Structure 1
Amino acid sequence: MTGTSSEMGISEFYAGQTLLITGCTGFMGKVLLEKLLRSCPEIERIYVLIRSKRGQSATERLESLLKSKLFDKVRNETINIQSKIVPVCGDIVEEKLGLSDEDIQILSQQVSVVFHSAATVKFDEELRLSLQMNVIGVKSLIELCHKFKKLKALIHVSTAYANCDKNVIEEKVYDPPLNPNRLIDAAEWMDNDAMNSLTVKLLGNRPNTYTYTKAMAEYLILQECGDLPVAIVRPSIVGSSWKEPFPGWVDNYNGPTGLLVAIGKGVLRCMMGNFNGTADILPVDIATNLMITVGWHTAVNKPKKLMVYNNTTGQLNKFTWGQMERFSYEYFMKNPIDEIARVPNPRFTKYLLWKDLNVIFDHLLPAYVMDFYLWIVGRKPIFVKIQDKLWKAVKSLEFFTSHEWKFANDNINMLAEHMTAKDREIFDFDVRKIRWGQYMENYCLGTKQFVLKENPQHLPKARRALQKLQRMHFLMNAVVFMVVWRLLINRVSVAKSLWNLLIGWALFIFQKIPKLARST
């Protein structure tokens, strides 16, 4: 073993521990739960905070979660996983997380490791709700953790973009523009209209309420955790799984997945983005492997200060938006989505005027034409509405596709040095091993299979449909070119002369071909 760590390995540490996970029904939370069950099978118990939703109880939601394909390996390898997982009905936006006094008593006596990943990840969320979930929820959790008698580690999941108003982001907690408690106090008497009117001014250089409240939550942890064993993990743009439990798993439209769906459908063809800029995509299994390792390190090695881990790829294994453009086109042409509106043709540009022209001529006008056709044949027009929704979503992402940051990774490197070779293999978070081409192919396939719920056996039919669209696209372009050219010929003498010259060259070449053939 390198470094100065205790000889206790990661799986060995988690054996016999009782955990609490918030946000386990979210994307990262599901992967975290699956990985803990599969790689740390001797865990005593995992309490999961789940709220009732749409008529389903916490228990029913957990049962539905464990039946998903994500947990296939665990179901095959682990006996009675339900006995290890205990749903606790609660909600991070409620006082005391919505927990009963009885549940608080049980958790305070048993829980030794807490993973807090519950949050709203909607960029355009109203400030009040974002504050309730991302800041007040953290405050309630800290108050709860102060009651835990056996607590060894509290791991808070933030975001690498909490401090996106800076160009260089170190592994430390920065002072927020406003003390979180002052905003919390103001939210108690301020109505929604007043908060919404102040939002733009409060955000300052930050693009949305998500990054703003995440920065506040970090500062709140620093101020109120006291002697609690806490660490903060900052993942960047979380995408599909790299390796575990299988490549390409993803189950939502957030972040880059939504872009891939729009690209694959052919409805997103141009957006603001730095072609050569870093697309800091992070596989979800790398994020969760780091979280588990940070929990172990915090408990076993007991750092003397609050540790922050920038979990990013850009400085270690750069992947650009230009590569994403190229790979997404290549793999959606190879494995097309079943029902597509147009041939995929994604483009990132850093020029606003060029983007706006493309939106008008390559997005909105075709949408109106297709809706007009649907209206003629008696079907409901949908394409203009799709474009409206698309550009609302794309606008919230363009800040991140158009800017670039430099993240420090010293603590990540230090953590790897403290691990055994076996643990580095089992809980692998080395982003330098990612082969981006292969990863993106799996990501595109995973988007088809797990997000759009498409059957891989339908690929031959999808490829035939794509080929048909390509022929139609070529024919339409040829017709438009010929019409425009003929109009120019009739109006511009230079264009007419050029047309006659081209025709003359073509006739000359065709006349020479038989003579050349005879001479050879």
Structure 2
Amino acid sequence: MTYRQINEFDAEKFTAAAVPTSYVSVPDFYAGKSIFITGGTGFLGKVFLEKLLYSCKDVETVYILIREKKGKTPQQRVEDLFNKPIFSRLKQKDSQCMKKVTAIIGDLSEPGLGISKDDEELLLQKVSVVFHVAANVQFYKEFKEIINTNVGGTKYVLQLCQRIKDIKAFVHISTAYCHTDQKVLEERIYPPPAELSEVLKFLQQPQHDKKQIKELFKKQPNSYTFAKALAETYIAENCGRVPTIIIRPSIISASLKEPLPGWVDSWNGATGLITASYNGANRVLLGEGGNFLDLIPVDFVANLAIVAAAKCTSSLKVYNCCSSGCNPLTLKQLVSHMNNVGFDKNVSIIFTNNKASLSTLTFFLQTTPSFTADMFLRVTGKSPRYMKIQSKLTIARNALNFFTCHSWVMKADNSRRLYASLSLHDRHTFPCDPTDIDWKKYITIYIEGINQFLMKKRS
């Protein structure tokens, strides 16, 4: 089935319905409630925390799970967090906002999240909404560590939710790539790639090689997506009475508007590869120019999570936070938009489906010029740097090869229906419909954000 056929079949344009008189606004839902967030110090977590405090000003307390760090108190860790530029507009609006945030010392990979009995009792009595944002996002981290953090941590968070006195919503941030065997990803629960009991039994073995792990993965590209798929299954089978939401973002990228246009603080995802391609360090990609690159701005993910919790019902609901099903961006279009960012740019990428060709082209177009440039630097008494860049680029590109050489259509019908059901004010405050993204403008914002926040260039 082609993209056009899929789009015509059931990806209709959603229009906002009349808001009922009993409608409760998103900020009003959070008024007087306390929230617990894991991963509040990560890329998505910081955007989420800032937006929640900025747009839901009457939230009572936000508890964030933070690992213990020698030499710093929990309060000092919170102060360090709020000193980042991402919180500047919030502090201008509310200079006392930090007082609403309380650090909970713990560790996602430890039973019971490693939190103290007193803190656990506090959460059980005070919290109404839980956002599980934290995860180990390194694709090729040690297998057991990934399972312990991304599956075990999810288990511990859900167990906490099941004991919370007045739980209104549990929101789990998954990934759209946890079911890569599906060419069209629907907003529903899929069978797991393996039984969790089978995986745990496998981990008890004294030794396991890469071949055994690959066999266990089946069609999963890496341990991160594999663990996320298992975590979804665990939630579906064990959420019980807890009102639960699973949100599946695709490739989370720089913010579109909030809290700062183009804000990004990590080279993960597509950011590193986009930067290298824009600056000429990368000239070759595995895949076809017509393949979809499913980017989603980080503020859209944060907004959808906040809104979904506010409108949560008793049944398990899945929301894909993706763009390819309703507003697709191809790799070729991405390159074209890059060339619109600067007048002096001529970004040119060669696409190939052949790994041997990828290696050959990389050698002639990237490795050889980098080696030559480093030789020149050495001769002139300067430190070489271009081969080091190529080494890092190779690692990043290898991690993304699977995603650039495949293409998926990720439906976002539930997400768009949810957005359309909001009042005009809530839709303006919490934008999260992917059809509103103008890719040409966004890629400019993205690259300018990379330059400003990661490469520290001044305009």
The answer to whether the superposition gives a TM-score over 0.5 is yes
Equivalent residue for 2:442, pick from 439, 442, 448: 439
Q: Report which of the two has the higher share of helix.
A: 1
Partner of 1:357 in structure 2? Answer: 360
Find the partner of 2:412 among 405, 409, 412. 409
Query: What's the offset of the Cα at 1:106?
Result: 0.5
Are positions 1:234 and 2:248 aligned together? yes
Match of 2:453 in 1: 450
Q: Secondary structure at the match of 1:206?
A: coil
SS at 1:260 equivalent: helix
2:212 — aligned with what? Answer: 198
Instruction: Report the alpha carbon displacement of residue 142 of structure 1 after superposing the two structures with TM.
Output: 1.1
- Write the distance in 1 (CA, Å) between the matches of 2:88 and 2:378: 45
Give the TM-score taking structure 1 as reference length: 0.81
Structure 1 unaligned blocks of 5 or more: 337-342, 457-520
Q: Distance in 2 between matches of 1:62 and 1:198?
A: 42
Structure number with greater Rg is 1
1:66-465 equivalences under 5 Å are 66-187=82-203, 189-191=204-206, 193-194=207-208, 196=210, 198-298=212-312, 302-303=313-314, 305-332=315-342, 345-456=348-459
Task: Give the CA deviation at 1:247.
Answer: 1.3
Could you say what secondary structure the match of 1:86 adopts?
A: strand
* Partner Cα distance (1:333, 1:105) in 2: 59
8 A contact 1:310–1:408 mirrored in 2 = yes
**Among candidates 73, 76, 81, match of residue 65 of structure 1:** 81
What is the alpha-carbon distance in structure 2 between the residues aligned to residue 54 and residue 255 of structure 1?
30
What is the number of residues matched between the two proteins? Answer: 443
Q: Which amino acid aligns with 1:95?
A: P
- Matching residue of 1:502: none
Residues 6-52 of structure 1: CA deviation (Å, up to 9, x unaligned): 41111101000100010011111100001001100000010000113
2:415–2:433 CA contact under 8 A, matched in 1: no
Partner amino acid, structure 2, of 1:26: G
The alpha-carbon deviation at position 446 of structure 1 amounts to 0.4
Is the 8 Å Cα contact of residues 112 and 151 (structure 1) preserved in structure 2? yes
Q: Decide which of 3, 15, 24 is 2:40's aligned counterpart.
A: 24
Q: Is the 8 Å Cα contact of residues 185 and 408 (structure 2) preserved in structure 1? A: yes
Q: How much does 1:315 deviate?
A: 1.7
Residue in structure 1 matched with residue 10 of structure 2 by the alignment: none
Q: Taking structure 1 as reference, are residues 360 and 377 closer, same or farther at Cα in structure 2, changes over 3 Å only?
A: same
Cα distance, 1:401–1:6 mapped onto 2, change above 3 Å: farther
Long gaps (5+) in structure 2 = 1-16
Supply the distance in 1 between the matched residues of 2:143 and 2:189 (Cα, whole angstroms).
21
- Assess, with a 3 A threshold, how the Cα gap between structure 1 residues 53 and 348 changes in structure 2: closer, same or farther: farther
What are the superposed Cα offsets for residues 171-202 of structure 1, whole Å, 9 maximum, x if unpaired? 11111122224423543x334x4265522111
Match in the other structure for 1:340:
none
Aligned-partner Cα distance in 1 for 2:339–2:74: 41
Give the AA of the match of 1:327.
Answer: H
The 1:417/1:454 distance shift into structure 2, 3 A limit, reads closer
Contact 1:275 1:348 in 2 (8 A): yes
Q: Which amino acid aligns with 1:455?
A: R
Q: 1:74, 1:169 → 2: CA distance?
A: 36
Q: CA deviation at 1:56?
A: 4.1
Q: What is the CA–CA distance in structure 2 between the aligned matches of 1:5 and 1:252, rounded to whole Å?
A: 43
Query: How far does residue 5 in structure 1 lie from its aligned partner after superposition?
Result: 9.0
SS of equivalent residue, structure 2 residue 171? strand
Corresponding position of 1:483: none
Q: Which amino acid aligns with 1:356?
A: S
1:249-270: CA deviation from partner (whole Å, max 9, x where unpaired)? 1111011111122124321111
